[in-house]
Amino acid sequence: MQPSNEHLIKQEAQRLGFLQCGISKAGFLEEEAPRLEKWLNAKMHGEMGYMANHFDKRLDPTRLVDGAKSVITVLLNYFPEETQKAPTAPKISKYAYGNDYHHVIKGKLKELVEFINKEIGEVGGRAFVDSAPVMDKAWAAKSGLGWIGKNANLIHPKNGSFFFIGELILDIELESDKPIHDHCGTCTACIDACPTEAIVAPYVVDGSKCISYFTIELKEAIPTSMKGQFDDWAFGCDTCQDVCPWNRFSKPHSEAQFNPHPEMLDMTKQDWEELTEDVFKKVFQKSAVKRTKFSGLTRNIAFLKK
């Protein structure tokens, strides 16, 4: 019996190193529309003006890709084998340890499209990795790759939440996967642990209160009212994931491009506080940390000083 197109795509996704692959029918995200509108109206996106742009495209992939019929969503693990060693050093979010994920995932998605064109037939479409108005977590949940937890992260029952999400939006008809149930139950670990109380209600994160927002997105000075609340995070924040019981199932990734620069894990508090631009360029040459630039990272480190 001939394997189905869906089976072939998932098999190839696995060969390329993706953790999971799921499929959904392309169409308007009806449930997400009122939630997104309410979130934007409450100004929970802070200075992230781009979040309010392309509202219609964000909710409907057929406006991004002509003739879109299917959304293929993939997950790529980034959970590291080792974390930073110095307990008092400024902390970097685990997703930024290695090479910038945008390039890594885009490369793999390009290979997946080439495979589909060769084995299934010519398709039209685009690859997306967190760089266009696509609601990644919503599509992943629709495709059965997990549920959106109380910390607004996608959680997979066997893999936790330390993974990146990418999509192919294609003009090919494929059979959809079914969503899975929410398994957060009565747990409030993420809400209780958030250093800045950014999880304002179960499943609702006020982006303008999140440490990731202050340390990455905010371009001007960090408000002094936040002093002493960052729990040593200098770029991003993993607290709500670190405390999530489902992340006991996280296993170290096997993607060499996500391995950290060897010097980074050994850097002491003093090393960080005396960081030079040359060291910044060497250690974070290919990392997402470059997004803050040297000036942004040193601003964050200085803000952490007691």
In degrees and rounded to multiples of 5, residue 234 shows phi and psi of: -105, -20
| Catalytic residue flag (residue 130) | yes
Q: How far apart are the C-alpha atoms of 108 and 13, rounded to whole Å?
A: 8
Residue of 143, 113, 21, 128 whose CA lies nearest to 75: 21
Q: Choosing from 130, 171, 177, 232, which is the catalytic residue?
A: 130
- The DSSP call for residue 141 is H
Residue of 212, 175, 217 whose CA lies nearest to 196: 212
Q: Report the catalytic residues.
A: 130
